[in-house]
Structure 1
Amino acid sequence: MPRAVTLIRSATLSDVAEYAYAATAPAEARLIFLAGSCPLDADGATVAVGDVAGQAAACVVNLRTALKDAGAGLDDVISTRVLVATTRQSDLVAAWQVVRDAFGDHDVPSTLMGVTVLGYHDQLVEIEAVAAVLDA
């Protein structure tokens, strides 16, 4: 099945960023707006307490599940926002490395943010995403 997402690289902006600067989807694409993926297990308990990378990995697992349930996959994601409850840049980097590795060559436009607090007890990471698919 053809992909709806086209990643756009800038020839004039810095090439230091580990993601595309923009992405597009054609008008006929179905957009999927995903709620923030949280590091929760099937019982709703926060996993990997105190471990930013572990929580980021759990968020990716849950993101993959939500995408699959919507008829999509990571390659259909058009943008992400990664939220990390921290004031330390090293925590942001730890979460980002997990997300970047999960997406591989599909390096979608992303925003990485340190925030004060997230919604669940002991939650350190949350990943928001938008995907686009071309239905048959």
Structure 2
Amino acid sequence: MSNGVRLIRNHQLTQQVDYAYAAVADAPVRSIWVAGACPLDLNGETVAVGDYAGQAHQVMRNLITALEGAGASLTDVAKTTVYVASSRQSDLVTAWEVYREYMGEHDVPSTLLGVTVLGYYDQLVEVEAVAVLPGARD
């Protein structure tokens, strides 16, 4: 079964980006809004303190788990926002490269933001997502 997300690449905009400019989900779809995936282990402790890549890996593993709990996968994601607690572009790029590794060919529209602080102690990375599945759940 194909997912309900169709990625749009507008050739009137630069093709030098590694994400689609838009995503379309035709009705009827089941929508899933995933809270920001954080770099927390099962005990609620922040992992990989001080390590942007290490935290991004945990964030993406947690995102996959949250999606699976809703019956979805990364290929059902229609939009993400990647938050990185840093004003240094190199830190944002480090987190983005890990994010892209997990997203693979499914290069959904995404916003990458450098922010001042995130919600948990020592947290450097967070990813929130919106996913859609074809058809309504029975």
Say yes or no: TM over 0.5: yes
| Deviations 1:40-98, CA, capped at 9 Å, x for gaps | 00000000000001100100000000000000000000010000000100000000000
Give the match for residue 119 of structure 2: 119
* TM-score (ref. length: structure 1): 0.98
Give the match for residue 51 of structure 1: 51
Q: In structure 2, what is the Cα distance between the partners aligned to 1:131 and 1:89?
A: 27
Matched residue SS, 1:27: coil
2:39 pairs with 1:39: yes
2:74 pairs with 1:70: no
Give the match for residue 10 of structure 1: 10
- What one-letter code is carried by the residue in structure 2 that aligns with 1:119? G
Aligned residues: 136
- What one-letter code is carried by the residue in structure 2 that aligns with 1:82? V
Q: Deviation at 1:2?
A: 2.1
- What one-letter code is carried by the residue in structure 1 that aligns with 2:64? R
Percent identical residues: 60
- What one-letter code is carried by the residue in structure 2 that aligns with 1:86? S
- What one-letter code is carried by the residue in structure 2 that aligns with 1:126? E
Q: Deviation at 1:26?
A: 1.0
Q: In structure 1, what is the Cα distance between the partners aligned to 2:118 and 2:81?
A: 14
Q: In structure 1, what is the Cα distance between the partners aligned to 2:117 and 2:129?
A: 19
Matched residue SS, 2:81: strand
Q: Which runs of 5+ in 2 are unaligned?
A: none
Alignment RMSD: 0.8
* TM-score (ref. length: structure 2): 0.97
Q: In structure 2, what is the Cα distance between the partners aligned to 1:67 and 1:111?
A: 19
2:93 pairs with 1:93: yes
Q: In structure 2, what is the Cα distance between the partners aligned to 1:123 and 1:53?
A: 12
